[in-house]
Structure 1
Amino acid sequence: MTSDTTPAAQGGATPAERVDAPAPRSLDGRVVAVAGAAGPAGRATVLRLAAAGATVLAADADRERLGEVVEAAAYAGSARVTGEQVDLLDAAAARDWADRAEREHGAVHGLVHLVGGWRGAKTFGETDLADWNLLDKLLVRTLQHTSLAFHDALLRSGDARFVLVSAAGATRPTAGNAVYGAAKAAAEAWTLALGDSFRRAAKAGGDAEPRAAAAILVIKALVHDAMRAERPDAKFAGFTDVRDLAEAVAGLWDRPAQEVNGHRLWLTPEPNRP
């Protein structure tokens, strides 16, 4: 299981909106779980959430890299970050993580899903369906396990945010990115269904609007400092810096749930549809 989402494909989708993320005020008192926390995007998100005052429960399959994230948080002066090695391909392990998080902290106010990976081919005809088997596990199955595990806890917390990072190519994939685009589209559909569950739960409880929200942040691709160092002449046009992604994640709690629940929120200019 890998961390982060690093798509290379471009595309467009509706409904969607372009987002200029507000600067988050404070996440004091909130508990946020981050799945796939050991990669560059996970590290940036964990540190930003902790800096905003959240208690962050970081999880990843890579114990060593996860330890580096927790150490970085401690070095930055935050004791609000804990790390746990969790195999999110194991449904029971994901549920144990969710149950333990709520039991130990009293509530869980957010889950940021950053488990990712990429596979592609030069042409459509050269697509290897073994790549689909891998991406189905990384991009879809881990999402299913975490969202099902945390669903009830997120509803109980009152103002929860579930966050999926997706790619612009989910509904307009290129020929060589068939498996990646299909897996991302499946992940988006699952997240939209989660948002509908939040909406239905609110109505069943007599609320006109949901207080919990499932949001999809759409990017073209991610970039971080190590990538820039490796390719100093590259433009990375349209790419989203992992720190900007982290700002967008933290800012979701500053927006009313109905503005973000079930929406694709663009962090890069939305491409024109064909």
Structure 2
Amino acid sequence: MTTGRATTETAGQSGVQKDEEATEMSTSTGGQGPLEGAVIAVAGAAGPAGRATLLRLAEAGATVVGCDADAERLAEAVDAARYAHGGAKVIGDTVDLLDPEQTREWAGRTEKEFGRIDGLVHLVGGWRGSKTFAETDLRDWDLLHNLLVRTVQHTSLAFHEGLQRSGNGRFLLISAAGASKPTAGNAAYAASKAAAEAWTLALADAFRKAGGEEGPRAAAAILVVKALVNEQMRAERPNAKFAGFTDVAELAEAIAGVWGRPAREVNGKRLWLTPEP
């Protein structure tokens, strides 16, 4: 990665209360499920995880607005989702999320065009590492800080008010187990992921405070994986086991499922798709 542009990641209530909140979420977006008629933005939509997420959200009936800095790959991802689900509304928007003004313009444009914004799925990322701690190159930190932290800051600040207006908004960060148990060669990566998680949890606290005694109307949550795997990776390494990896389709399913859970149940939580370290 030689440029500074953001790229995609290749990473207690009573039962009655829960039923009532689930019913409210269903009716708020059309009565056919929590994602029917919802408007979901996907940041970093051109990579394997982004493609799987576009497909799953479109299948669930959402209007999906994907963004990426790579216009060509984004167009391919959007076309694939439209082709797989005839009639689905899937939009591509080329945005450099390292530019705060572009990010705010994207958020405002999306809400204005579709009348609401019900989610931001953050799939932007990258990886750099070293063999040992002593060999860590701080230029890796500079790069990862931009990709893994700055983009989260820009999207969360741009979208948080719209998500609160939704009544069922979700901000979802995809993170890595290494943030909770960093290894010597992954210092820069783990520290960047941990910072992004902390920022997301601060957003969750803002949603909690805005909700008052009634509880949050929007939620910020973190989906944690060990690493991601897709069909191309399996084809390229047929003998690899990818032990503990989460398939991008499984990740997309988990992402879609968050809208079916009450905001107070997921707000400020790490949702583990891999065993906790």
The answer to whether the 8 Å contact 1:51/1:78 transfers is no
Deviation sequence 1:190-218 (CA, Å, 0-9, x none): 00000000001111xxx421120001000
**Counterpart pick for 1:228 among 225, 234, 247:** 234
Match of 2:196 in 1: 187
The Cα shift of 1:4 comes to 1.5
Question: Map of 1:115-264 to 2, 5 A cutoff?
Answer: 115-203=124-212, 207-264=213-270
The answer to whether the 8 Å contact 1:166/1:218 transfers is yes
The answer to whether the 8 Å contact 2:59/2:88 transfers is no
The Cα shift of 1:5 comes to 4.6
The answer to whether the 8 Å contact 2:10/2:47 transfers is no
Match of 2:17 in 1: none
The answer to whether the 8 Å contact 1:55/1:81 transfers is yes
* Secondary structure, aligned partner of 1:111: strand
Q: Does 1:66 align with 2:74?
A: yes
Structure 1 runs, 4 residues or longer, greater than 3 Å off: none
Unmatched 5+ stretches in structure 1: 7-23
Separation in structure 2 between the aligned mates of residue 79 and residue 25 of structure 1, nearest angstrom = 16
Greater relative CO (CA pairs within 8 A, separation 6+):
1
Match of 2:275 in 1: 269
- What amino acid is the match of 2:75? G
Separation in structure 2 between the aligned mates of residue 95 and residue 78 of structure 1, nearest angstrom = 28
Unmatched 5+ stretches in structure 2: 1-5, 12-31
Deviation sequence 1:200-242 (CA, Å, 0-9, x none): 1111xxx421120001000000000000000001110100000
* Secondary structure, aligned partner of 1:125: coil
Go from structure 1 to structure 2 and tell me whether the alpha carbon gap of 1:78 and 1:114 turns closer, same or farther (over 3 Å shift). Answer: farther
Separation in structure 2 between the aligned mates of residue 74 and residue 134 of structure 1, nearest angstrom = 33
The answer to whether the 8 Å contact 2:98/2:150 transfers is yes
Quick one: percent identity of the two aligned structures? 70
The answer to whether the 8 Å contact 1:50/1:78 transfers is no
Match of 1:13 in 2: none
Question: Map of 1:92-131 to 2, 5 A cutoff?
Answer: 92-131=101-140
The answer to whether the 8 Å contact 1:30/1:108 transfers is yes
TM-score by length of 2: 0.89
Once the two structures are overlaid, the 10-residue window that deviates more, 26-35 or 84-93, is 26-35
The Cα shift of 1:25 comes to 4.5
* Secondary structure, aligned partner of 2:134: helix
Separation in structure 1 between the aligned mates of residue 202 and residue 276 of structure 2, nearest angstrom = 23
**Counterpart pick for 2:51 among 37, 43, 48:** 43
Separation in structure 1 between the aligned mates of residue 112 and residue 156 of structure 2, nearest angstrom = 17
Separation in structure 2 between the aligned mates of residue 257 and residue 210 of structure 1, nearest angstrom = 6
Go from structure 1 to structure 2 and tell me whether the alpha carbon gap of 1:78 and 1:45 turns closer, same or farther (over 3 Å shift). Answer: farther
> Between Structure 1 and Structure 2, how many residues are aligned?
251
Q: CA RMSD in A?
A: 1.1
Question: Map of 1:18-33 to 2, 5 A cutoff?
Answer: 25-33=33-41
- What amino acid is the match of 2:36? D
Deviation sequence 1:87-141 (CA, Å, 0-9, x none): 0000000000000111111110000000010000000000000000000000000
The Cα shift of 1:79 comes to 3.1
Separation in structure 2 between the aligned mates of residue 150 and residue 47 of structure 1, nearest angstrom = 22
Go from structure 1 to structure 2 and tell me whether the alpha carbon gap of 1:59 and 1:139 turns closer, same or farther (over 3 Å shift). Answer: same
- What amino acid is the match of 1:225? E
TM-score by length of 1: 0.90
* Secondary structure, aligned partner of 2:36: coil
